[in-house]
């Protein structure tokens, strides 16, 4: 369906909504923007993922599966009971699905719907098709067009790291990595407003990240970094792990660690010609 047909249908639904005083295909009233010259109210806005996906497609499919009877895709009470899970913090029970907010529907779509639905044999065809489509689109977009945008400039590792880490020919160097919903950047990338190159490891040591190496063939991830020497600036009962630290020095020697040992991103602060670090105390997000 071309844009002109969509625009015509949408404007007709808006007019029907105004005349009837009720919602028509989601249109509830007329917008003043429809009267602007040279402005297309349909294509002039970016898609709203909350209403299109979370409160739209996700809610519609849940209605088909959970609230219909005697259809090939309908779920029985026993099957619904099997999936009546409750994920702490993120979402209420499936029994309360009609009260779910957009965020809960989003979490259902993105994180655990596929795993839960795989428990029901007749739903596997839907899930497998979804996974194939998702993987195809994601890989096509990231690996062909957006790899630079999401992971920064990529390059091949130098001979030193190939030899020391026994890397395969598939190993690639990245300047950016997302771990635990936090974005870590190479210290070689300068940003005026923030510095995401500092981190704390699982053994409570501090590092400055130089770059990341991902060896997909050997399924290994490494971080090339510099050791950061710090000292406490407060002498009190604050938990030592989350105290603000003053940077004494940063080693120029490069070393490698397993990326999995990075535990927390650190906030970097500069004041009065001194630099400070503070590990982020709360890594949870809603």
Residues 22, 112 within the same domain? no
Q: Are 126 and 158 in a shared domain?
A: no
In a domain, residue 284? The reply is no
Given 45, 64, 79, which residue is the final one in a domain?
Answer: 45
Task: Provide the sign of the torsion angle of the four alpha carbons 183, 191, 203, 283, taken in this order.
Answer: negative
CB distance 261 to 202 below 8 Å: yes
C-beta separation of 172 from 182 below 8 A: no
Same domain, 7 and 101: no
Same domain, 202 and 269: yes
Domain match, 272 and 249 both: yes
The per-residue pLDDT for 88 is: 45
Residue 104, H or E segment: helix 102-107
CB 181 within 8 A of CB 237: no
Strand 245-258 vs strand 182-185: parallel, antiparallel, or unpaired? unpaired
Residue 197, both tokens: 């190159």
Query: Does 206 have pLDDT greater than 90?
Result: yes
Residue 38 sits in the same domain as residue 66: no
Q: When comparing pLDDT for 76 and 219, which is higher?
A: 219
Task: Flag whether 68 is in a domain.
Answer: yes
pLDDT in the model for residue 5? 60
**Residue ranges making up the domain that contains 9:** 1-45
In a domain, 139, yes or no: no
- The reply to whether 167 falls in a domain is yes
Q: Is 96 a member of any domain?
A: yes
Split into its structural domains, the chain has a count of: 3
- Position 270 pLDDT exceeds 60: yes
């Amino acid at each position: 369906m071309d844009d002109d047909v969509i625009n015509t249908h949408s404007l007709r639904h808006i007019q029907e909504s105004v005349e009837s005083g009720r919602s028509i295909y989601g249109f509830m009233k007329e917008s003043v923007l429809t009267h602007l010259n040279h402005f297309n109210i349909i294509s002039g806005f970016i898609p709203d993922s909350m209403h299109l996906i979370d409160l739209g497609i996700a809610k519609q499919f849940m209605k088909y599966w959970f609230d219909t009877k005697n259809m090939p895709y309908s779920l029985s009470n026993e099957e619904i009971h099997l999936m009546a899970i409750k994920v702490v913090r993120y979402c209420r029970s499936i029994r309360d699905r009609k009260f779910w907010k957009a965020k809960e529907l989003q979490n259902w779509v993105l994180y655990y719907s596929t795993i839960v639905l795989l428990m029901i044999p007749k739903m596997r065809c839907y899930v497998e098709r979804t996974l194939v489509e998702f993987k195809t689109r994601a890989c096509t977009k990231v690996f062909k067009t957006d790899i630079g945008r999401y992971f920064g400039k990529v390059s091949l590792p130098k001979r030193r790291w190939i030899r020391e880490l026994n890397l395969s020919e598939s190993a690639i160097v990245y300047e950016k990595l997302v771990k635990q919903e936090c974005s870590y950047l190479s210290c070689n990338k300068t940003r005026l407003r923030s510095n995401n190159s500092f981190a704390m490891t699982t053994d409570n040591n501090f590092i400055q990240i130089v770059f990341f190496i991902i060896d997909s063939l050997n399924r290994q991830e490494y971080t090339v970094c510099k050791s950061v020497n710090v000292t406490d600036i407060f002498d009190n009962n604050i938990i030592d792990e989350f105290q603000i630290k003053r940077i004494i020095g940063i080693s120029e020697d490069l070393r490698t660690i397993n990326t999995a040992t990075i535990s927390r991103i650190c906030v970097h602060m500069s004041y009065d010609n001194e630099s400070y670090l503070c590990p982020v105390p709360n890594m949870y997000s809603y």
